[in-house]
Structure 1
Amino acid sequence: MKSLSTLSILIVLSLLVNINNVFSYEEKTLKEITTVSTDSLIAKSLLSAYYGDTLVVKGVVGVSVLVNVSKGDRRPIMLTGGSWTTYLQTEATVSESQKAGILMFQRDTLIKNSGFDKLQTGDLIEATVVVGSLPYKFDATNQTKISAPALELLSIIPVKVLASKQTLNPAIKTNISKFYKGNKVQNPLLETGSGFIGQKVIFDSLTVTATSPQIIVRDNQNNSIVMNEQSGYYTTKSHFIEESEFRPLSIGQKIYKMEGYISSLFVAGSGGGGFGNGSGSALYTYTISPALPGDLNSGPKPSQLSVVRVQPAKLFPSSSDIVSVIFEILPGANFVPIGNIFLEYSIDDGKTYNKIPAEEDITGNYLGKIPAQSAGTIVYYMLTATDEVGETYKGPVNGVYYFKVVDQFPSIADIRRPDTIEAIRIISGSSVTIEATVMSDTNDIFGDGFQNPSRIILQDGTAPWSGAAIFRMGNNDSPVWKLKSGEKVRLTAKLQEFGGSLYFQSVDTVITLGKTELYAPVALSTAEFGTNPGGTEKSDQWRNMLVEFNNVEVGKLEPSSPQSTGEFLIVDEALKATPEASIRLETDESKLTYTTRDSIVSISKRVKPTIGEKISFVRGIINADFRTRRYKLIPRNDRDFSIVTDIKTGDADIPQLFVYPNPVKDKACIDINIEKESLVSIDIISTITGNKITSTKEYLSAGIFTLQINTSELSSGSYIISIISDTQTQTLPLVINK
């Protein structure tokens, strides 16, 4: 007879065997997990082919999890959010084509029996993991898709250490241009950057261009990337490791060498979104994370050059103005003699610069004067200095300063253009005067009462960058809110930069110059915007402009989660197999029959769009959410839709009604289904005056008819076609473009 203790041992052994049998998972290499297929890249996705799977992996630990666990020092070296973090890499013996790396984390740092906390640099391990991305709650599936893959430890199965002190793969020397182009850290380059995710790379010859809210560094080709403060050795945050020699970086400071791991960073906003008081969330698909001492070699504290003021204080100097730039230098580690200080300016798109030696100003600052230039000239300028040991400095650190010489009123494109170039203007509450057409007023787009206020939309043309918005904040009773669509106005307003774009902050004066025709909508593809945060490179130029999408289908309803907007997706019919080419359509901010909210449908005659529903055209104003920079279309009213399928309103059917071509030149055709014989009135009405331009009456029997309308004598502009019979009334928008 076995003793009780013997039975206990047998039971424990039996349980261990059963657990090993239960937790039997397929093994995959790091290369298999991190390889992004061509199809995924086309779909703008970095998701692993094994996303969501539980797998067994082997790899070499790149960074110890804790500082010195054997001596009781349990301070974490790297964190992702609040999670312990390391990076796994393939063994040094594998072929170059099979080398890979990936971030690995343990979410619950109170668990100590997983063995994760004991991992040391160079350990070859076997671990059971769940393939995913960063341990954050993303506010949209699209953000998860363009976030770097990551492995979450399945902590109920302890990590196995197979060997120690293994050789690590050397860091890969590469350039920021593999990940981003330009200084805005937007539109990540998925094809060229995805192969480096999880691996250690080297950048050299960098300059710090921002230190808050994120550290941003720039290379000599003006490409920028975020430095992720994952490591306690390279942060000023709460997990800072006191033994570190790292000190806060300064704007303009040179980085001679930076080694680090490529991964993503998600920064949760503090709430509010839109125009609220909180800051928005942000996803950086690619960041570099220095990990251990020696990974970063920085230069001395730099001298910092900055503009104090510009005289005359005009955003657009005239051709008779000599522009005086007063600037200061905050000293760095080394002395800068005045003979080494210059104001440099260019009038040939930055190809060559003229150097003006700095003078001492009576205020104790420095002064440089740019000669008067002819109207239309774009002037770039910058401040430069060289210290006593030969280190050079520039102000601004990122890009150059900029102004345009204008003798009359600037165009809206003149005001907005700096959004597209690496240039900075000295705004400081500057006012500008423009002449433009009111494309929609506060009766058209009245906002949603939460994140998006009512607004006036202005345009002075149909070329890119020709649209502007004035947002109504609070109980502002400015005369601007009395403006109506179709009025031409001259207004003077102060500028505000918000979310990386310029807006009219407040209007000082408004003069109504009379009535005018609305600009025709610009026909675009939904693919020029897409569903990803930040849109595409072409998106922002159409912000606050009237645009049109032809032959589209309704896609997913309410794409945001949790439900906070009244949006649905539309996509070009030709691109319906590529949902990433969709654009959001907003139903909460204007008077539309469509809504995505069941609560509204249940108490009103508004209807939900149907997935797959075809729309021959839809027009509206392009806007962008300030929190996520997702672009969306806001139709002004139902006349901005031409619905191909029937819409049910109560118990009555509104029959099919088409007008084509639209826009039209000389002759339009109207297809209409008449329910019973009656007198049918067909009127063309001006959207500006509301007056009938033409009127036709005709008796028609029941059936489907094609009617021809002569528009050859009508001027270009926007109109409404009104069709009234004994049993039905319907209107459609018509644009005449000659």
Structure 2
Amino acid sequence: MRKLVLLFCIIFFLFGLSTFAQTYPLVTVEDIQFQSDSSLLANGDQPSPLNGDTVRVRGTVLVAPLVDPQNDRRVIVWAGAAWNTYIQDENGLVYEMFDGITMRQGDTTGAAQGTFFDLVDTAQVVEFTVVVEEFIETTQGAILVDPVTPVQIISNEPKRPDPIELDISDFYDGQQNVLAEKYEGMYVVVRSGITSDRNVSTGTFRINDGNGNFIYMYDQSGYFTLRGHRLTGLTDYQPPPDGTVLSYIRGVIQTRWGGSAPGYHIIPFYPGDIEISAQPPTISMIRRNLAEVMTNQAVDISASIVDTDGSVDSARLYYRIDGGSFNMIELTSSGGDIYSGTIPGVNSDSALVDYYLWAKDNLGNESKVPPSPDTNPQYFYLVLNRSVTIQDIQYNPFGTDISGYNGYYVTLNGIVTADTSDFPGSGVTAYRIYMQNGTGPWSGIRIGTRGSLSNDVSALAKGDDVSITGYIWDGPISPTFNVTRIDSVSGLTINSQNNPLPDFKVLSTGDIGLAGNGDPTKEQWESVLIKYLNVTVTDENADGPPSNFGEMLVDDNSGETRVELEDGFHSYHNLSDPTRANYIQTGNAFDELGGLLYYSFGNYKLVPRNDNDFVGWVTDVNEENQLPEEFGLFQNHPNPFNPSTIINYNLPVQANVTLKIFNILGQEVKTLLNNEIVPAGEHQVSFNASGLPTGIYIYNLQANDFIQSKKMILLK
């Protein structure tokens, strides 16, 4: 009878959820976005006051999610595989601005398509049911798909709202203006900017006002990108050469305080959202004739220089040695667009030569690549009387995070420090291989698996001493994320096997800290085995809630830094992948945390490879020396749950532990631990029931002679 009553309770609870789904409050965009000036000035950009809430919100669609729902289902505004749009509330008159926000649907498969989000179009006023969440620094609405909740088209406007006229100084006036947060997600236009920092990998650039103020153009739209989400066949976009004068650029504003371009970004959506007034020569395809340069070897530098609205009047190459004064060489063209010049040989071992190119057209418009060569060099090489090493490839003292050998083939030697047993690429784990030469700075590098020798590279094992010939690839976009790799391997020799791995470099968490892309004090440890000692988990979820990207914050009292838990093949998690056994929580501690230093999405982070990189896990710092007095199995939490829950148990002594899950009929449905040796202490195991139906389940613990069972409820 009790089972029957409980079953009715479950059914009633599920019915209640379905009914409640129709009563979410209707709020305005301002309700979600508003922050007072005093709060912004004191605390900076903070999560929405409705963060985590499920609400209904209305606004005018600024960009369609898809090119054509019937004939061309490519997304316009890229957000992974998600559907994405921006809306603006023209009726939000309570506060000044705070009327724009992004809407995103992550699950676009199967029944989730019943939201009909993909059918909305520009200038429609639409009501969305969303969960308010934060992605990095941007507030967004995640379309509710559990249960599937269709969007509602309220009306059709003749056009999208007119953009708000703003100046670059509204966003940056000698420093970032935190009060410009009120424009996040809003449609604006900026006029008469001058471009710089042209990125020929992504299509992004910086927009300057001539007074030191700037914002960035972000390539989220497929019409304005060079990345994989480019709308090929619908756009011929190329980023304007540095020095281009814009008549205007219009789009929505997004804030990004991490990565290599921190600040405010404007996202143009459609062709016509950027108009050029005057364009200087375009300098591209900069190459040197030698990958490795020996002492006294002259180096030929060539580039394509084109002027689309006139002709190239003059072109020059500037170079300097070891940070001295720049020397000028006139470039010559033998016809066509290719210009070249020669840097004389340098009679000095280990000299560093950096260089840039300059051009002027017949109208006097000038361009320079890179645009700030004194402070932001990007093209350089080392003069050596030996073959290059990993350290030479990785070395960059300028903070620009670009290898001097980017785009060239070289041969490197090292010991494999991580293989596909550590990063197998299954589930949420990454697929990576690393090698290292010694233990000092700049000594590690990732090995890519592209090319004809992919299978041979994938078969490498930790401890292999290898010689690899490959292409140095170091770009700002996925899949490199500014992490240098040797890829497209054309030659591979295993010199010996089962060699000892390099020792971990012990660092303080404050040495790496947060953000700081390219900072040589951090960048020197990229792809190197490092470890922290005596760390405490200060935040088990570095990005949420509700977001959780598998990263936590740890601190050894020198400053917080990130640890990435998803990529490696180990048993630890922060609920981003609860199929793993060990749930790390805020307040836990470790005697040691080791792994490889990685960089992605604006942050350096330690990536443990396997369970051996976690040493001395303490789940209760205040009672780390106290062992349980008796065996115990505790009620799971949360309960009811969907789809994951945590099971805690105590062991007063080391024991052989078996933990199994049974359905109400007594049939075994899952084995979490199978006669595994577990040390004395307080322990927890995560159980993920994604593949099981709603119902009552029993979990049974056997530890030596101790046996105990408890019930739990799965509600979907």
Which residue in the other structure is 1:484 paired with? Answer: 463
1:430 corresponds to 2:409: yes
From 329, 335, 360, the counterpart of 1:356 = 329
Identity of aligned residues (%): 13
Taking a change above 3 Å as real, the CA distance of residues 521 and 444 of structure 1, as seen in their structure-2 partners, is farther
Q: 2:275 aligns with which of 297, 300, 305?
A: 297
CA contact (8 A) 2:356 2:379 kept: yes
**Equivalent position of 2:473 in the other structure:** 497
Q: Secondary structure at the match of 1:501?
A: coil
Determine helix, strand or coil for the equivalent of 1:547: strand
CA distance in 1, matches of 2:523, 2:319: 28
- Residue of structure 1 aligned with 2:100, choices 68, 79, 102: 102
Residue among 559, 575, 583 paired with 2:563: 583
Cα shift at 1:422 = 6.6
Give the root-mean-square deviation of aligned CA atoms. 6.3
For residue 332 of structure 1, give the secondary structure of its aligned residue in structure 2.
coil
Give the secondary-structure state (helix, strand or coil) at the position aligned to 1:552.
strand
Change (3 A) 1:534 1:460: same
AA partner of residue 198 (structure 1):
G
Deviation at 1:433, TM superposition (A): 4.4
For residue 172 of structure 1, the aligned residue among 166, 172, 175 is 166
Does the residue aligned with 1:638 lie in a helix, a strand or coil?
Answer: helix
SS in 2 for 1:549: strand
What one-letter code is carried by the residue in structure 2 that aligns with 1:202? V
Q: Secondary structure at the match of 1:252?
A: coil
Question: Does residue 33 of the first structure (1) align with residue 36 of the second (2)?
Answer: no
Q: What SS class does the counterpart of residue 394 from structure 2 fall into?
A: helix
Measure, in 2, the Cα distance between the counterparts of 1:310 and 1:64.
43
Q: CA deviation at 1:91?
A: 8.1
Q: Structure 1 pair 457/636, CA: closer, same or farther in 2 (3 Å)? A: farther
Corresponding letter in the other structure for 1:641: V
Whether the 8 Å CA contact 2:55–2:130 is kept in 1: the answer is yes
- Pick one of 362, 368, 371 that aligns with 2:344: 371
Output aligned runs, 1:451-530, within 5 Å: 452-453=430-431, 455-463=433-441, 465-470=442-447, 476-477=455-456, 481=460, 484=463, 491=467, 493-497=469-473, 499=480, 500-505=482-487, 506=489, 508=492, 518-525=502-509, 528=512
* 1:344 Cα offset (Å): 1.5
Summarize deviations over 1:342-398 as a string: whole Å, max 9, x none: 11213364x853221123459994321112233333222122221111122334679
Q: Is the 8 A contact 1:55 1:130 kept in 2?
A: yes
In structure 1, the residue matched to 2:198 is 209
List per-residue Cα deviations over 1:218-270 (Å, max 9, x = no partner).
Answer: 547797431554999xx995998xxxxx974454172424343433499xxxx
Which residue is 2:608 aligned to? 634
Q: Decide which of 552, 569, 572 is 2:535's aligned counterpart.
A: 552
Distance in 2, Cα, partners of 1:557 & 1:214:
32
Alpha-carbon spacing, 1:149–1:223, altered in 2? closer, same or farther (3 Å)? same
The correspondence of residues 307-346 of structure 1 with structure 2, limited to 5 A, is 307=285, 309-311=287-289, 313-315=290-292, 317-337=293-313, 340-346=314-320
Distance in 2 of aligned mates of 1:624 and 1:193: 32
Q: CA deviation at 1:298?
A: 0.4
Correspondence for 2:253 among 256, 263, 267: 263
1:226 maps to which of 218, 239, 245: 218
Matched, 1:47 2:34: no
CA distance in 1, matches of 2:546, 2:32: 33
* Correspondence for 2:138 among 138, 147, 159: 147
The normalised TM-score by structure 2 is: 0.57
* Structure 1 residue 210, shift from structure 2 partner: 4.4
Structure 2, unpaired ranges of 5+: 1-21, 66-74, 105-114, 144-148, 475-479, 632-651, 655-716
- Preserved contact between residue 389 and residue 412 of structure 2 (Cα < 8 Å): no
Change in 2 beyond 3 A, CA 1:514/1:368: farther
Counting matched residue pairs gives 545
Cα 1:212–1:615 change in 2 (3 A) is: closer
Q: Note if contact 2:598-2:605 (Cα within 8 Å) is conserved in structure 1.
A: yes
State whether residues 55 and 131 of structure 2, in contact with CA within 8 Å, keep that contact through their aligned partners in structure 1. Answer: no
Note if contact 1:147-1:285 (Cα within 8 Å) is conserved in structure 2.
no
1:625–1:427 distance in 2 versus 1, CA, 3 Å: closer
The correspondence of residues 77-116 of structure 1 with structure 2, limited to 5 A, is: 86-88=87-89, 98-103=96-101, 108=116
Structure 2 counterpart of 1:550, which letter? L
Q: Decide whether aligned partners of structure 1 residues 89 and 197 sit closer, same or farther in structure 2, where only a CA change above 3 A counts.
A: farther
Which residue of structure 1 aligns with residue 424 of structure 2?
Answer: 447
1:498-549: CA deviation from partner (whole Å, max 9, x where unpaired): 613222333555667998894443223289466x998999765433222222
Aligned to 1:6: none
Higher Cα radius of gyration: 1
Aligned to 1:137: none
| Contact 2:291-2:405 within 8 A present in 1 as well | no
State the SS of the aligned residue for 1:171.
strand
SS at match of 2:354: strand
On the 8 A contact 1:445/1:636 being kept in 2, the answer is: yes
CA contact (8 A) 2:163 2:250 kept: no
- Is contact 2:531–2:592 with CA below 8 Å preserved after alignment? yes
Structure 2 residue aligned with 1:194, among 171, 174, 181?
Answer: 181
- Cα contact 1:493–1:509 (8 A) shared by 2: no
Residues 215, 264 of structure 2: 8 Å contact kept: no
Q: Does the 8 A contact of 2:171 with 2:177 survive in 1?
A: no
Please name the residue that 1:386 is paired with: 360
Letter in 2 for 1:524: S
Stretches of structure 1 that go unaligned for 5 or more consecutive residues are 1-21, 67-77, 120-126, 134-140, 182-188, 241-245, 267-281, 654-672, 676-738
- Give 1:679's aligned residue: none
- Given that 2:590 and 2:614 are in contact with CA atoms closer than 8 Å, whether structure 1 keeps it comes out as no
